[in-house]
Structure 1
Protein backbone atom coordinates (compact mmCIF):
# COMPACT_ATOMS: atom_id res chain seq x y z
CA UNK A 1 0.00 0.00 0.00
CA UNK A 2 1.39 3.39 -1.00
CA UNK A 3 1.58 6.12 1.62
CA UNK A 4 0.24 9.55 0.66
CA UNK A 5 2.99 11.94 -0.38
CA UNK A 6 2.04 14.40 2.37
CA UNK A 7 2.39 11.69 5.04
CA UNK A 8 5.81 10.69 3.71
CA UNK A 9 6.94 14.30 3.73
CA UNK A 10 5.67 14.77 7.28
CA UNK A 11 7.54 11.68 8.48
CA UNK A 12 10.73 12.86 6.81
CA UNK A 13 10.45 16.29 8.38
CA UNK A 14 9.85 14.79 11.83
CA UNK A 15 12.84 12.48 11.41
CA UNK A 16 15.02 15.34 10.22
CA UNK A 17 13.93 17.51 13.15
CA UNK A 18 14.74 14.77 15.64
CA UNK A 19 18.12 14.18 14.00
CA UNK A 20 19.02 17.86 14.20
CA UNK A 21 17.90 18.01 17.82
CA UNK A 22 19.96 14.92 18.64
CA UNK A 23 23.04 16.67 17.27
CA UNK A 24 22.84 19.35 19.96
CA UNK A 25 25.77 18.71 22.26
CA UNK A 26 27.34 20.76 25.01
CA UNK A 27 30.37 20.49 27.25
CA UNK A 28 30.12 21.94 30.76
CA UNK A 29 33.31 23.60 31.98
CA UNK A 30 33.61 24.96 35.53
CA UNK A 31 36.29 27.52 36.37
CA UNK A 32 37.91 28.69 39.61
CA UNK A 33 38.08 25.40 41.46
CA UNK A 34 37.93 24.51 44.25
CA UNK A 35 35.36 27.25 45.01
CA UNK A 36 34.67 30.96 44.54
CA UNK A 37 32.04 32.26 46.94
CA UNK A 38 31.44 35.09 49.40
CA UNK A 39 28.96 32.92 51.28
CA UNK A 40 30.86 29.64 51.62
CA UNK A 41 34.18 30.76 53.11
CA UNK A 42 34.85 28.18 55.84
CA UNK A 43 36.23 24.69 55.12
CA UNK A 44 32.79 23.24 55.90
CA UNK A 45 31.08 25.75 53.63
CA UNK A 46 33.46 25.07 50.76
CA UNK A 47 32.92 21.35 51.21
CA UNK A 48 29.14 21.90 51.06
CA UNK A 49 29.38 23.96 47.88
CA UNK A 50 31.57 21.29 46.27
CA UNK A 51 29.23 18.45 47.22
CA UNK A 52 26.23 20.36 45.86
CA UNK A 53 27.95 21.04 42.54
CA UNK A 54 29.03 17.44 42.17
CA UNK A 55 25.53 16.23 43.06
CA UNK A 56 24.12 18.19 40.10
CA UNK A 57 26.73 16.73 37.76
CA UNK A 58 26.06 13.20 38.98
CA UNK A 59 22.27 13.53 38.83
CA UNK A 60 22.32 14.63 35.19
CA UNK A 61 25.28 12.45 34.16
CA UNK A 62 27.40 15.42 33.10
CA UNK A 63 31.09 14.69 32.32
CA UNK A 64 32.33 18.14 33.30
CA UNK A 65 35.85 19.49 33.54
CA UNK A 66 36.91 21.76 36.39
CA UNK A 67 39.72 24.29 35.97
CA UNK A 68 41.87 24.71 39.08
CA UNK A 69 43.41 27.92 40.38
CA UNK A 70 46.64 26.85 42.09
CA UNK A 71 46.83 29.42 44.86
CA UNK A 72 43.41 28.29 46.10
CA UNK A 73 45.06 24.97 47.01
CA UNK A 74 47.66 26.66 49.21
CA UNK A 75 47.70 28.11 52.72
CA UNK A 76 50.71 30.00 54.07
CA UNK A 77 52.78 28.80 51.10
CA UNK A 78 51.96 25.15 51.83
CA UNK A 79 49.42 22.79 50.30
CA UNK A 80 46.09 23.07 52.10
CA UNK A 81 44.78 19.62 53.02
CA UNK A 82 41.13 20.72 52.99
CA UNK A 83 41.39 22.38 49.58
CA UNK A 84 43.24 19.43 48.07
CA UNK A 85 40.50 17.15 49.38
CA UNK A 86 37.91 19.21 47.53
CA UNK A 87 39.55 18.76 44.12
CA UNK A 88 40.19 15.10 44.95
CA UNK A 89 36.42 14.76 45.23
CA UNK A 90 36.09 15.95 41.63
CA UNK A 91 38.42 13.19 40.50
CA UNK A 92 36.58 10.63 42.63
CA UNK A 93 33.35 11.71 40.91
CA UNK A 94 34.93 10.99 37.50
CA UNK A 95 35.45 14.61 36.47
CA UNK A 96 38.55 15.90 34.70
CA UNK A 97 40.74 18.71 36.04
CA UNK A 98 42.47 21.39 34.01
CA UNK A 99 44.94 24.24 34.51
CA UNK A 100 43.55 27.73 35.23
CA UNK A 101 46.95 29.19 36.29
CA UNK A 102 48.30 29.64 39.78
CA UNK A 103 47.18 33.19 40.60
CA UNK A 104 44.44 33.75 38.00
CA UNK A 105 46.29 36.71 36.46
CA UNK A 106 45.06 38.48 33.35
CA UNK A 107 47.48 37.99 30.47
CA UNK A 108 47.06 41.53 29.16
CA UNK A 109 48.64 43.18 32.21
CA UNK A 110 51.76 41.02 32.64
CA UNK A 111 54.64 39.77 30.53
CA UNK A 112 54.56 36.51 28.63
CA UNK A 113 57.33 35.14 30.87
CA UNK A 114 55.42 35.96 34.06
CA UNK A 115 52.28 34.38 32.65
CA UNK A 116 54.13 31.22 31.71
CA UNK A 117 55.41 30.93 35.27
CA UNK A 118 51.82 31.27 36.47
CA UNK A 119 50.74 28.44 34.18
CA UNK A 120 53.49 26.21 35.53
CA UNK A 121 52.67 27.20 39.11
CA UNK A 122 49.66 24.90 39.13
CA UNK A 123 51.10 22.29 36.77
CA UNK A 124 53.10 20.47 39.45
CA UNK A 125 50.10 20.39 41.79
CA UNK A 126 47.88 18.96 39.06
CA UNK A 127 50.38 16.31 38.02
CA UNK A 128 50.60 15.12 41.62
CA UNK A 129 46.82 15.03 42.01
CA UNK A 130 46.15 13.34 38.68
CA UNK A 131 48.86 10.74 39.07
CA UNK A 132 46.62 8.96 41.59
CA UNK A 133 44.07 8.32 38.83
CA UNK A 134 46.62 7.64 36.08
CA UNK A 135 45.90 10.92 34.31
CA UNK A 136 47.79 14.08 33.46
CA UNK A 137 46.53 17.64 32.98
CA UNK A 138 45.57 18.11 29.34
CA UNK A 139 43.66 21.39 29.11
CA UNK A 140 44.34 25.03 29.87
CA UNK A 141 41.67 27.68 30.41
CA UNK A 142 42.66 31.34 30.05
CA UNK A 143 41.71 33.54 33.04
CA UNK A 144 39.29 36.24 31.88
CA UNK A 145 39.45 34.56 28.44
CA UNK A 146 42.50 36.71 27.64
CA UNK A 147 44.65 35.04 25.00
CA UNK A 148 47.02 37.94 24.31
CA UNK A 149 46.67 41.58 23.34
CA UNK A 150 49.59 41.52 20.90
CA UNK A 151 50.43 39.03 18.18
CA UNK A 152 53.73 38.28 19.90
CA UNK A 153 52.13 37.48 23.26
CA UNK A 154 49.41 35.37 21.65
CA UNK A 155 51.89 33.36 19.60
CA UNK A 156 54.21 32.98 22.61
CA UNK A 157 51.40 31.49 24.69
CA UNK A 158 50.26 29.17 21.91
CA UNK A 159 53.81 27.86 21.49
CA UNK A 160 54.38 27.54 25.24
CA UNK A 161 51.20 25.56 25.85
CA UNK A 162 51.89 23.26 22.91
CA UNK A 163 55.43 22.50 24.08
CA UNK A 164 54.08 21.64 27.54
CA UNK A 165 51.40 19.29 26.15
CA UNK A 166 48.46 21.57 26.97
CA UNK A 167 45.47 22.08 24.71
CA UNK A 168 43.63 25.39 24.96
CA UNK A 169 40.09 25.10 26.29
CA UNK A 170 37.99 27.56 24.26
CA UNK A 171 34.56 28.86 25.18
CA UNK A 172 31.71 29.09 22.70
CA UNK A 173 29.03 30.20 25.18
CA UNK A 174 30.22 33.06 27.39
CA UNK A 175 28.11 34.62 30.13
CA UNK A 176 28.21 36.59 33.38
CA UNK A 177 27.26 33.91 35.89
CA UNK A 178 29.74 35.50 38.33
CA UNK A 179 27.62 38.67 38.55
CA UNK A 180 24.50 36.65 39.32
CA UNK A 181 26.42 34.68 41.93
CA UNK A 182 27.72 37.85 43.58
CA UNK A 183 24.13 39.14 43.78
CA UNK A 184 22.93 35.77 45.07
CA UNK A 185 25.61 35.82 47.76
CA UNK A 186 24.52 39.30 48.87
CA UNK A 187 20.88 38.20 49.12
CA UNK A 188 21.76 35.11 51.14
CA UNK A 189 24.12 37.01 53.42
CA UNK A 190 21.24 39.41 54.08
CA UNK A 191 19.11 36.33 54.81
CA UNK A 192 16.63 37.47 52.18
CA UNK A 193 15.64 34.09 50.75
CA UNK A 194 12.86 35.55 48.60
CA UNK A 195 15.33 37.88 46.88
CA UNK A 196 17.82 35.07 46.47
CA UNK A 197 15.14 32.90 44.85
CA UNK A 198 14.24 35.72 42.45
CA UNK A 199 17.89 36.09 41.43
CA UNK A 200 18.16 32.33 40.94
CA UNK A 201 15.14 32.17 38.65
CA UNK A 202 16.41 35.11 36.60
CA UNK A 203 19.76 33.36 36.35
CA UNK A 204 18.33 30.20 34.82
CA UNK A 205 16.42 32.25 32.23
CA UNK A 206 19.53 34.33 31.50
CA UNK A 207 21.68 31.24 30.92
CA UNK A 208 19.07 29.79 28.56
CA UNK A 209 19.04 33.08 26.65
CA UNK A 210 22.84 33.04 26.41
CA UNK A 211 22.68 29.55 24.92
CA UNK A 212 20.09 30.71 22.37
CA UNK A 213 22.19 33.74 21.44
CA UNK A 214 25.39 31.77 20.82
CA UNK A 215 23.45 29.02 19.04
CA UNK A 216 22.33 31.64 16.55
CA UNK A 217 25.91 32.93 16.23
CA UNK A 218 27.18 29.43 15.49
CA UNK A 219 24.40 28.71 13.01
CA UNK A 220 25.22 31.94 11.20
CA UNK A 221 28.94 31.23 11.01
CA UNK A 222 28.87 27.49 10.26
CA UNK A 223 25.38 26.92 8.83
CA UNK A 224 24.92 24.05 11.27
CA UNK A 225 24.80 23.30 15.00
CA UNK A 226 28.21 22.96 16.62
CA UNK A 227 29.30 21.17 19.79
CA UNK A 228 29.18 23.98 22.33
CA UNK A 229 31.46 24.64 25.29
CA UNK A 230 29.75 26.47 28.16
CA UNK A 231 31.70 28.56 30.67
CA UNK A 232 30.55 28.42 34.31
CA UNK A 233 32.19 28.88 37.71
CA UNK A 234 32.35 26.92 40.97
CA UNK A 235 30.24 29.52 42.71
CA UNK A 236 27.25 29.76 45.01
CA UNK A 237 24.50 30.20 42.45
CA UNK A 238 25.64 27.21 40.42
CA UNK A 239 25.74 25.08 43.56
CA UNK A 240 22.00 25.71 43.86
CA UNK A 241 20.81 26.25 40.27
CA UNK A 242 23.12 24.31 37.98
CA UNK A 243 20.67 21.42 37.97
CA UNK A 244 17.92 23.76 36.77
CA UNK A 245 20.20 24.92 33.94
CA UNK A 246 20.79 21.28 32.99
CA UNK A 247 17.04 20.64 32.91
CA UNK A 248 16.59 23.53 30.49
CA UNK A 249 19.41 22.29 28.29
CA UNK A 250 18.00 18.77 28.17
CA UNK A 251 14.54 20.11 27.36
CA UNK A 252 16.05 21.84 24.33
CA UNK A 253 17.62 18.63 23.08
CA UNK A 254 21.15 18.93 24.40
CA UNK A 255 23.26 15.99 25.47
CA UNK A 256 26.30 16.46 27.67
CA UNK A 257 29.74 15.58 26.31
CA UNK A 258 33.36 15.81 27.40
CA UNK A 259 35.70 18.58 26.34
CA UNK A 260 37.64 16.05 24.30
CA UNK A 261 34.48 15.18 22.37
CA UNK A 262 33.53 18.83 21.85
CA UNK A 263 36.94 19.70 20.42
CA UNK A 264 36.51 17.08 17.72
CA UNK A 265 34.05 19.46 16.07
CA UNK A 266 35.90 21.06 13.12
CA UNK A 267 34.56 24.45 14.21
CA UNK A 268 37.29 24.60 16.84
CA UNK A 269 39.94 24.51 14.13
CA UNK A 270 38.63 27.80 12.74
CA UNK A 271 41.11 30.58 12.17
CA UNK A 272 41.40 32.99 15.11
CA UNK A 273 43.24 36.25 14.34
CA UNK A 274 41.68 38.18 17.22
CA UNK A 275 44.24 40.20 19.18
CA UNK A 276 42.84 42.73 21.64
CA UNK A 277 42.26 43.44 25.32
CA UNK A 278 38.78 41.91 25.48
CA UNK A 279 38.24 38.38 26.74
CA UNK A 280 35.50 37.12 24.45
CA UNK A 281 33.86 33.95 23.20
CA UNK A 282 35.70 32.02 20.52
CA UNK A 283 32.59 32.37 18.37
CA UNK A 284 33.12 36.12 18.45
CA UNK A 285 36.83 35.67 17.75
CA UNK A 286 36.05 33.61 14.68
CA UNK A 287 33.38 36.07 13.58
CA UNK A 288 35.74 39.04 13.84
CA UNK A 289 38.39 37.06 11.95
CA UNK A 290 35.83 36.50 9.20
CA UNK A 291 35.13 40.22 9.04
CA UNK A 292 31.81 40.27 10.89
CA UNK A 293 30.97 43.62 12.43
CA UNK A 294 28.15 45.59 14.02
CA UNK A 295 24.77 43.95 13.62
CA UNK A 296 26.19 40.42 13.79
CA UNK A 297 26.96 40.85 17.48
CA UNK A 298 23.70 42.49 18.55
CA UNK A 299 21.32 40.78 20.92
CA UNK A 300 23.68 39.37 23.51
CA UNK A 301 21.70 38.96 26.76
CA UNK A 302 22.30 41.59 29.42
CA UNK A 303 22.42 41.07 33.16
CA UNK A 304 19.38 42.88 34.63
CA UNK A 305 20.33 46.22 36.20
CA UNK A 306 18.77 45.19 39.50
CA UNK A 307 21.02 42.10 39.65
CA UNK A 308 24.11 44.16 38.89
CA UNK A 309 23.22 46.69 41.58
CA UNK A 310 22.67 43.91 44.10
CA UNK A 311 25.99 42.31 43.16
CA UNK A 312 27.65 45.63 43.93
CA UNK A 313 25.92 45.75 47.32
CA UNK A 314 23.53 48.54 46.36
Structure 2
Protein backbone atom coordinates (compact mmCIF):
# COMPACT_ATOMS: atom_id res chain seq x y z
CA UNK A 1 0.00 0.00 0.00
CA UNK A 2 1.76 3.15 -1.23
CA UNK A 3 -0.43 5.75 0.46
CA UNK A 4 -3.51 6.11 2.61
CA UNK A 5 -6.44 8.47 2.33
CA UNK A 6 -6.34 9.41 6.02
CA UNK A 7 -3.58 9.68 8.61
CA UNK A 8 -5.97 8.39 11.27
CA UNK A 9 -7.57 5.17 10.07
CA UNK A 10 -8.84 3.43 6.95
CA UNK A 11 -11.60 5.30 5.14
CA UNK A 12 -14.86 3.39 5.35
CA UNK A 13 -16.88 3.48 2.13
CA UNK A 14 -20.28 2.08 1.21
CA UNK A 15 -20.48 1.68 -2.55
CA UNK A 16 -23.78 2.16 -4.35
CA UNK A 17 -24.84 1.88 -7.98
CA UNK A 18 -27.34 4.07 -9.76
CA UNK A 19 -29.36 3.29 -12.88
CA UNK A 20 -28.53 -0.29 -13.76
CA UNK A 21 -31.20 0.04 -16.46
CA UNK A 22 -29.45 3.19 -17.75
CA UNK A 23 -31.90 5.86 -18.95
CA UNK A 24 -34.98 6.02 -21.13
CA UNK A 25 -33.87 6.55 -24.72
CA UNK A 26 -30.25 5.58 -24.08
CA UNK A 27 -29.43 2.14 -25.48
CA UNK A 28 -26.48 0.05 -24.38
CA UNK A 29 -23.56 -0.18 -26.80
CA UNK A 30 -23.51 -3.25 -29.03
CA UNK A 31 -22.48 -6.30 -27.01
CA UNK A 32 -23.63 -4.81 -23.69
CA UNK A 33 -26.92 -5.08 -21.80
CA UNK A 34 -28.30 -4.43 -18.35
CA UNK A 35 -27.81 -8.12 -17.57
CA UNK A 36 -24.19 -8.15 -18.71
CA UNK A 37 -23.41 -4.97 -16.77
CA UNK A 38 -25.05 -6.32 -13.60
CA UNK A 39 -23.17 -9.62 -13.84
CA UNK A 40 -19.87 -7.80 -14.34
CA UNK A 41 -20.43 -5.42 -11.42
CA UNK A 42 -21.51 -8.24 -9.13
CA UNK A 43 -18.38 -10.25 -9.99
CA UNK A 44 -16.20 -7.23 -9.22
CA UNK A 45 -17.94 -6.59 -5.90
CA UNK A 46 -17.59 -10.23 -4.89
CA UNK A 47 -13.94 -10.46 -5.88
CA UNK A 48 -13.11 -7.45 -3.70
CA UNK A 49 -15.18 -8.61 -0.75
CA UNK A 50 -17.81 -5.87 -0.77
CA UNK A 51 -20.84 -6.41 1.45
CA UNK A 52 -24.32 -6.05 -0.06
CA UNK A 53 -24.54 -3.06 -2.40
CA UNK A 54 -27.72 -1.04 -2.96
CA UNK A 55 -28.74 -0.04 -6.47
CA UNK A 56 -30.99 2.94 -7.19
CA UNK A 57 -32.44 2.79 -10.68
CA UNK A 58 -34.97 4.87 -12.51
CA UNK A 59 -37.53 2.49 -13.96
CA UNK A 60 -38.64 4.32 -17.11
CA UNK A 61 -36.37 2.33 -19.48
CA UNK A 62 -38.51 -0.75 -18.75
CA UNK A 63 -41.51 0.96 -20.35
CA UNK A 64 -40.13 -0.17 -23.70
CA UNK A 65 -38.60 -3.46 -22.51
CA UNK A 66 -40.05 -5.18 -19.45
CA UNK A 67 -37.33 -7.84 -19.73
CA UNK A 68 -35.00 -5.26 -18.18
CA UNK A 69 -36.58 -6.01 -14.80
CA UNK A 70 -34.73 -9.35 -14.81
CA UNK A 71 -31.61 -7.33 -14.03
CA UNK A 72 -33.03 -6.77 -10.54
CA UNK A 73 -33.39 -10.54 -10.12
CA UNK A 74 -29.72 -11.04 -10.98
CA UNK A 75 -28.72 -8.15 -8.71
CA UNK A 76 -30.58 -9.53 -5.71
CA UNK A 77 -29.56 -13.15 -6.37
CA UNK A 78 -25.95 -11.96 -6.01
CA UNK A 79 -26.81 -10.76 -2.49
CA UNK A 80 -27.36 -7.09 -3.27
CA UNK A 81 -30.34 -4.82 -2.57
CA UNK A 82 -32.62 -2.42 -4.43
CA UNK A 83 -33.71 1.07 -3.43
CA UNK A 84 -36.11 3.57 -5.01
CA UNK A 85 -34.83 6.22 -7.43
CA UNK A 86 -38.07 7.35 -9.00
CA UNK A 87 -39.40 6.50 -12.43
CA UNK A 88 -38.29 9.21 -14.88
CA UNK A 89 -35.03 10.42 -13.25
CA UNK A 90 -35.99 14.09 -13.21
CA UNK A 91 -34.51 16.57 -10.76
CA UNK A 92 -36.80 17.84 -8.01
CA UNK A 93 -35.61 21.28 -9.12
CA UNK A 94 -37.61 20.92 -12.36
CA UNK A 95 -40.94 19.72 -10.98
CA UNK A 96 -43.27 20.34 -8.06
CA UNK A 97 -43.26 18.07 -4.99
CA UNK A 98 -46.58 16.43 -5.88
CA UNK A 99 -45.22 15.33 -9.27
CA UNK A 100 -42.00 14.12 -7.70
CA UNK A 101 -43.82 12.09 -5.03
CA UNK A 102 -46.07 10.52 -7.66
CA UNK A 103 -42.92 9.56 -9.58
CA UNK A 104 -41.53 7.80 -6.50
CA UNK A 105 -44.83 5.96 -6.05
CA UNK A 106 -44.94 4.93 -9.69
CA UNK A 107 -41.49 3.36 -9.42
CA UNK A 108 -42.42 1.55 -6.22
CA UNK A 109 -45.41 -0.02 -7.96
CA UNK A 110 -43.03 -1.49 -10.54
CA UNK A 111 -40.21 -2.69 -8.28
CA UNK A 112 -41.99 -3.24 -4.99
CA UNK A 113 -41.11 -6.93 -4.78
CA UNK A 114 -37.39 -6.16 -4.98
CA UNK A 115 -37.67 -3.21 -2.60
CA UNK A 116 -39.34 -5.53 -0.12
CA UNK A 117 -36.34 -7.85 -0.06
CA UNK A 118 -33.98 -5.13 1.21
CA UNK A 119 -33.40 -4.78 4.96
CA UNK A 120 -33.93 -1.00 4.71
CA UNK A 121 -36.20 1.11 2.50
CA UNK A 122 -33.87 3.66 0.93
CA UNK A 123 -34.64 6.38 -1.59
CA UNK A 124 -32.07 8.36 -3.53
CA UNK A 125 -32.89 11.76 -4.98
CA UNK A 126 -32.16 11.83 -8.71
CA UNK A 127 -28.72 13.35 -9.30
CA UNK A 128 -28.65 13.84 -5.49
CA UNK A 129 -30.61 17.06 -6.08
CA UNK A 130 -32.86 17.60 -3.05
CA UNK A 131 -34.74 20.56 -4.47
CA UNK A 132 -34.04 24.20 -5.21
CA UNK A 133 -36.25 25.51 -2.40
CA UNK A 134 -36.48 24.52 1.23
CA UNK A 135 -40.26 24.11 0.89
CA UNK A 136 -39.84 21.50 -1.87
CA UNK A 137 -37.30 19.55 0.15
CA UNK A 138 -39.46 19.60 3.28
CA UNK A 139 -42.55 18.36 1.45
CA UNK A 140 -40.76 15.44 -0.19
CA UNK A 141 -38.90 14.61 3.03
CA UNK A 142 -42.21 14.48 4.88
CA UNK A 143 -43.59 12.07 2.30
CA UNK A 144 -40.50 9.85 2.47
CA UNK A 145 -40.79 9.64 6.24
CA UNK A 146 -44.49 8.76 6.05
CA UNK A 147 -43.74 6.04 3.46
CA UNK A 148 -40.95 4.50 5.52
CA UNK A 149 -38.09 5.62 3.29
CA UNK A 150 -34.70 6.89 4.39
CA UNK A 151 -33.01 9.20 1.87
CA UNK A 152 -29.52 7.92 1.02
CA UNK A 153 -27.20 10.68 -0.22
CA UNK A 154 -23.93 10.40 -2.12
CA UNK A 155 -20.85 11.78 -0.37
CA UNK A 156 -18.20 10.82 -2.97
CA UNK A 157 -18.66 10.62 -6.72
CA UNK A 158 -16.27 10.80 -9.64
CA UNK A 159 -18.50 11.97 -12.51
CA UNK A 160 -18.59 8.55 -14.14
CA UNK A 161 -21.80 9.41 -16.02
CA UNK A 162 -19.72 11.87 -18.04
CA UNK A 163 -17.77 8.89 -19.40
CA UNK A 164 -20.82 7.11 -20.84
CA UNK A 165 -20.89 8.87 -24.20
CA UNK A 166 -17.12 9.12 -24.88
CA UNK A 167 -16.73 5.41 -24.09
CA UNK A 168 -19.65 4.54 -26.34
CA UNK A 169 -18.00 6.51 -29.16
CA UNK A 170 -14.76 4.53 -28.84
CA UNK A 171 -16.78 1.32 -29.13
CA UNK A 172 -18.73 2.58 -32.15
CA UNK A 173 -15.48 3.66 -33.83
CA UNK A 174 -13.68 0.43 -32.92
CA UNK A 175 -10.86 2.55 -31.48
CA UNK A 176 -9.24 0.20 -28.97
CA UNK A 177 -6.48 2.64 -28.06
CA UNK A 178 -9.00 5.36 -27.22
CA UNK A 179 -11.15 2.84 -25.35
CA UNK A 180 -8.23 1.90 -23.10
CA UNK A 181 -7.38 5.59 -22.65
CA UNK A 182 -10.92 6.36 -21.46
CA UNK A 183 -10.72 3.41 -19.07
CA UNK A 184 -7.50 4.82 -17.63
CA UNK A 185 -9.09 8.24 -17.26
CA UNK A 186 -12.15 6.97 -15.41
CA UNK A 187 -9.88 5.16 -12.94
CA UNK A 188 -7.83 8.34 -12.59
CA UNK A 189 -10.99 10.32 -11.88
CA UNK A 190 -12.22 7.74 -9.36
CA UNK A 191 -8.98 7.98 -7.39
CA UNK A 192 -8.46 11.74 -7.56
CA UNK A 193 -12.05 12.53 -6.62
CA UNK A 194 -12.05 10.14 -3.69
CA UNK A 195 -8.88 11.79 -2.41
CA UNK A 196 -10.19 15.34 -2.74
CA UNK A 197 -13.63 14.66 -1.31
CA UNK A 198 -12.30 12.64 1.63
CA UNK A 199 -9.81 15.41 2.40
CA UNK A 200 -12.55 18.03 2.32
CA UNK A 201 -14.84 15.94 4.51
CA UNK A 202 -12.08 15.57 7.11
CA UNK A 203 -11.69 19.37 7.25
CA UNK A 204 -15.45 19.89 7.48
CA UNK A 205 -16.23 17.35 10.20
CA UNK A 206 -12.90 17.26 12.05
CA UNK A 207 -12.82 13.49 11.48
CA UNK A 208 -13.23 10.96 8.71
CA UNK A 209 -16.92 10.28 8.19
CA UNK A 210 -18.08 7.05 6.60
CA UNK A 211 -18.52 7.78 2.91
CA UNK A 212 -21.15 6.72 0.38
CA UNK A 213 -19.70 6.20 -3.07
CA UNK A 214 -21.39 5.98 -6.44
CA UNK A 215 -20.97 4.39 -9.83
CA UNK A 216 -23.52 3.81 -12.59
CA UNK A 217 -24.69 0.69 -14.37
CA UNK A 218 -22.97 1.43 -17.66
CA UNK A 219 -20.62 -0.22 -20.13
CA UNK A 220 -17.62 1.80 -18.95
CA UNK A 221 -18.28 0.85 -15.32
CA UNK A 222 -18.67 -2.81 -16.25
CA UNK A 223 -15.22 -2.65 -17.81
CA UNK A 224 -13.45 -0.62 -15.09
CA UNK A 225 -15.14 -1.34 -11.74
CA UNK A 226 -12.62 -4.02 -10.89
CA UNK A 227 -9.69 -1.62 -11.38
CA UNK A 228 -11.43 1.13 -9.41
CA UNK A 229 -12.14 -1.11 -6.43
CA UNK A 230 -8.58 -2.42 -6.49
CA UNK A 231 -7.25 1.15 -6.51
CA UNK A 232 -9.50 2.02 -3.57
CA UNK A 233 -8.25 -0.97 -1.60
CA UNK A 234 -4.67 0.08 -2.37
CA UNK A 235 -5.56 3.38 -0.67
CA UNK A 236 -6.69 1.51 2.42
CA UNK A 237 -10.44 1.75 1.85
CA UNK A 238 -12.60 -0.55 3.94
CA UNK A 239 -15.91 -1.37 2.26
CA UNK A 240 -18.98 -1.31 4.52
CA UNK A 241 -22.75 -1.56 4.18
CA UNK A 242 -24.98 1.37 3.40
CA UNK A 243 -26.66 0.78 6.76
CA UNK A 244 -23.35 1.40 8.54
CA UNK A 245 -22.72 4.51 6.47
CA UNK A 246 -26.20 5.88 7.15
CA UNK A 247 -25.62 5.58 10.89
CA UNK A 248 -22.99 8.31 10.55
CA UNK A 249 -24.48 11.78 11.25
CA UNK A 250 -22.62 13.18 8.24
CA UNK A 251 -24.94 11.10 6.06
CA UNK A 252 -28.04 10.85 8.25
CA UNK A 253 -28.32 14.64 8.59
CA UNK A 254 -28.81 16.57 5.37
CA UNK A 255 -26.48 19.57 5.03
CA UNK A 256 -28.27 22.85 5.89
CA UNK A 257 -27.80 24.11 2.34
CA UNK A 258 -30.42 24.61 -0.36
CA UNK A 259 -28.93 24.78 -3.84
CA UNK A 260 -30.07 24.21 -7.40
CA UNK A 261 -26.58 23.05 -8.38
CA UNK A 262 -25.41 19.47 -9.03
CA UNK A 263 -23.71 18.76 -5.69
CA UNK A 264 -23.21 15.72 -3.49
CA UNK A 265 -23.48 15.89 0.28
CA UNK A 266 -19.76 16.53 0.82
CA UNK A 267 -19.91 19.48 -1.56
CA UNK A 268 -23.00 20.81 0.23
CA UNK A 269 -21.36 20.45 3.65
CA UNK A 270 -18.29 22.17 2.19
CA UNK A 271 -20.39 25.11 0.99
CA UNK A 272 -21.91 25.40 4.46
CA UNK A 273 -18.51 25.22 6.19
CA UNK A 274 -16.61 27.39 3.70
CA UNK A 275 -14.23 24.57 2.72
CA UNK A 276 -12.82 24.11 -0.77
CA UNK A 277 -13.22 20.69 -2.41
CA UNK A 278 -10.04 20.84 -4.44
CA UNK A 279 -10.30 19.68 -8.05
CA UNK A 280 -14.01 18.85 -7.85
CA UNK A 281 -15.38 18.68 -10.46
CA UNK A 282 -12.30 17.59 -12.48
CA UNK A 283 -13.03 19.98 -15.35
CA UNK A 284 -9.74 19.59 -17.25
CA UNK A 285 -9.92 15.79 -17.19
CA UNK A 286 -13.57 15.77 -18.24
CA UNK A 287 -12.88 18.20 -21.09
CA UNK A 288 -10.18 15.85 -22.41
CA UNK A 289 -12.52 12.87 -22.18
CA UNK A 290 -15.39 14.78 -23.79
CA UNK A 291 -13.22 15.46 -26.86
CA UNK A 292 -12.09 11.87 -27.51
CA UNK A 293 -13.11 10.03 -30.71
CA UNK A 294 -15.65 12.45 -32.20
CA UNK A 295 -18.65 10.79 -33.87
CA UNK A 296 -21.40 12.76 -35.62
CA UNK A 297 -24.50 13.01 -33.48
CA UNK A 298 -22.79 11.58 -30.38
CA UNK A 299 -21.66 14.57 -28.38
CA UNK A 300 -22.45 14.71 -24.68
CA UNK A 301 -24.95 17.50 -25.34
CA UNK A 302 -26.73 15.53 -28.07
CA UNK A 303 -26.97 12.30 -26.08
CA UNK A 304 -27.12 13.10 -22.36
CA UNK A 305 -28.78 16.44 -23.01
CA UNK A 306 -31.58 14.66 -24.83
CA UNK A 307 -31.94 12.17 -21.98
CA UNK A 308 -32.37 14.97 -19.44
CA UNK A 309 -34.79 16.76 -21.75
CA UNK A 310 -36.89 13.59 -22.04
CA UNK A 311 -36.95 13.15 -18.26
CA UNK A 312 -38.11 16.71 -17.67
CA UNK A 313 -40.65 16.72 -20.48
CA UNK A 314 -42.32 13.62 -19.01
CA UNK A 315 -43.59 16.12 -16.40
CA UNK A 316 -44.23 18.96 -18.82
CA UNK A 317 -41.09 20.67 -17.53
CA UNK A 318 -37.73 21.74 -18.92
CA UNK A 319 -34.28 20.81 -17.56
CA UNK A 320 -32.05 23.60 -16.31
CA UNK A 321 -28.68 22.85 -17.86
CA UNK A 322 -27.00 25.71 -15.97
CA UNK A 323 -27.26 23.55 -12.82
CA UNK A 324 -24.41 21.38 -14.11
CA UNK A 325 -20.99 23.04 -14.04
CA UNK A 326 -18.59 20.29 -15.01
Per the normalisation by structure 2, the TM-score is 0.81
Task: Indicate the larger mover: 236-245 or 167-176.
Answer: 167-176
The 3-state SS of whatever aligns with 1:33 is coil
| Cα distance, 1:39 vs structure 2 | 3.9
Partner of 2:12: 25
Residue 94 (structure 2) pairs with residue 109 (structure 1): yes
Match of 2:174 in 1: 191
| Structure 2 segments unaligned to the other structure (5+ residues) | 300-326
C-alpha deviation, 1:258, in angstroms: 1.1
**Bigger Rg over Cα:** 1
Q: For the structure 1 residues 168 and 130, does the alpha-carbon distance in structure 2 shift closer, same or farther, using more than 3 Å as the test?
A: closer
Q: 2: distance between equivalents of 1:266 and 1:311? A: 44
- Provide the residue aligned with 2:155 in structure 1: 172
User: TM-score normalised to the size of structure 1?
Assistant: 0.84
Q: Secondary structure of 1:310's partner?
A: coil
Name the counterpart of 1:96.
81
Q: Show the counterpart of 1:70.
A: 59
Tell me how far 1:304 sits from its aligned partner. Answer: 3.7
Distance 2:229 2:258 in 1: 33
Does 2:22 align with 1:51? no
Could you give the per-residue CA deviations for residues 149-201 of structure 1, whole angstroms, max 9, x where no partner exists?
11110111111111111111111112210112221111011111111001101
Question: May I ask how many residue pairs the two structures share in their alignment?
Answer: 287
Contact 1:151 1:275 in 2 (8 A): yes
Which whole-Å CA distance do the structure 1 matches of 2:163 and 2:243 have between them?
Answer: 29
Q: Which residues of 2 match residues 212-223 of structure 1 at below 5 A?
A: 212-223=195-206
Q: Where does residue 203 of structure 1 map in the other structure?
A: 186
TM-superposed CA distance for 1:136, in Å, is 6.5
Gaps of 5+ in 1: 1-16
What is aligned with 2:29?
40
Partner-residue secondary structure (3-state), 2:8 = helix
